[in-house]
Amino acid sequence: MRLLIIVNVFDPDRGGGAAVFSDMCYALAERGHEVTVRCAYPYYPEWSDKSGQNGLRVHRYRKNDAQIERYGLYIPSNPNSLVQRLVYEGSFFLSLLRGLPRGRGYDAVMVYCPLIGSVAYAAVHRFVFRQPVWLNVQDLSADAAAAAGIAKAGFVNRMLAGIQNWLFNRATVWSSISPVMIDRLRVLSKKNQPILFRPNWLNQSLGDEIAKLPSKVGRQPGDPVRLLYAGNIGAKQDLLQFIQTLAASDATFSFRIHGNGGGADDIRSWVEQSNDPRFTFGPFLDEAGFARALHETDYFVITERSGSGGSFIPSKMIPGMASGSAILAVSDSTSPLGREMREAEPGPWFGWDQLDTVADTLSRPALEFERWQQNAIDRAGDYARERIIDGFEESLAELARTGTATE
């Protein structure tokens, strides 16, 4: 197949699903398909021009049998600014339009959302070339902007949601990464599009790093108990509230925080100013470092801001479970993360109104700890890489052949 895949974040970006998006493109190319990736220059999660090449030039090159095309975009200095985020989205859409003359001959197009600019370009591409478009919804942008406080005014939220939903309905087939998100998308569908469940997975290179380390199932928590947060730090995580509540307790623990993103400076400043030896802050970890940190920790912490609803499920939960780490999660009970925690029970789950009880849980003997570790390993098996990519490949072939796809 000749496939066009449109995404904002791509190798060497990490966080925000970039590792999974890249892994799928490379895997499809390795299987003999002709894959073209249209993406931004690397900038995430640091929100900075990591290559030093971001600009007007379109950079085309091949890597791992895939054709990569890099398009410049405006990178916000303040990712939580609504105006800057709108310019960011619009700049990527306008930049991608330069690739439109090279749009003929594809059998199918896949576009990843959270960036609406990407979805808008895919809509134009479909209008011009009549090629079937698969919309892969990782995040509902309008919901996420409202939940993160980026879009505060009600009329702005309604306008963004209206634009998002109209663009979504230009696509031929939809998919998403959690049952909660599938239910949310059914409400938005106006054309009875097929909506496929296609979860994310543990990308191959990180999986290889985790596999190098011995199993830790059965290893009891240390003294002090060890906590790890590693990944993107933005408004959606509300991590500062979590660590400030923990700091107010007299619990004994060691909490390593590694990450980058729009909220990272706030966390770094708080850790430095608090002088609380229980907390340390470090940069975003590479895959080998992430695997080692997961192996060393007792609890892998994942927080999701209240009100996020069905907007996203953290991809970092999958490597956390694959490492055999107990997951300590804070979220709404009805969110994808909350539902995953209740169904799989890979560790203790807390609502935001239960934050005061986290320290008590850490201070008590963890009678269920080994069960949580084993549950995490078992659940990670549901995100098997080859099986999920097989599903993508089969559905893409059906989409290319018939113009639609089914489960």
Cα–Cα nearest to 199, from 178, 174, 180:
178
- pLDDT tens digits for range 98-108: 999 999 999 99
- pLDDT tens digits for range 159-193: 888 999 999 999 999 999 988 889 989 999 999 99
Lowest mean pLDDT among 129-138, 143-152, 238-247, 356-365: 143-152
Average pLDDT on 137-155 reads 72
The pLDDT, as a whole number, for residue 15 is: 83
For residues 197 and 407, the answer to whether their CB atoms sit within 8 Å is: yes
Categorize the per-residue pLDDT at 259 as very low, low, confident or very high, splitting at 50, 70 and 90.
very high
- Answer with the residue of higher pLDDT: 184 or 241: 241
**Span between the terminal Cα atoms of the chain, in Å:** 20
Model's pTM, two decimal places? 0.90
The pLDDT, as a whole number, for residue 149 is: 63
16 pLDDT above the threshold of 90: no
The pLDDT, as a whole number, for residue 311 is: 55
Q: Which residues contact 372 (CB under 8 A, 6 or more apart)?
A: 326, 327, 345, 346, 347, 348, 366
Categorize the per-residue pLDDT at 312 as very low, low, confident or very high, splitting at 50, 70 and 90.
low
Categorize the per-residue pLDDT at 236 as very low, low, confident or very high, splitting at 50, 70 and 90.
confident
257 pLDDT above the threshold of 70: yes
- Going edge to edge, which strands form the sheet with 279-282? 279-282, 253-260, 225-232, 299-303, 326-330, 349-350
- Paired with 3 in beta bridges are 35, 108
Q: Which residues contact 214 (CB under 8 A, 6 or more apart)?
A: none
The pLDDT, as a whole number, for residue 392 is: 97
- pLDDT tens digits for range 333-375: 988 899 999 999 999 999 999 999 999 999 988 889 999 999 9
Phi, psi of 184 (to 5 degrees): -65, -40
The pLDDT, as a whole number, for residue 310 is: 59
The pLDDT, as a whole number, for residue 260 is: 93
Distance CA 347, CA 365 (A): 14
298 pLDDT above the threshold of 90: yes
Categorize the per-residue pLDDT at 235 as very low, low, confident or very high, splitting at 50, 70 and 90.
confident
What are 340's two structure tokens? 């995953």
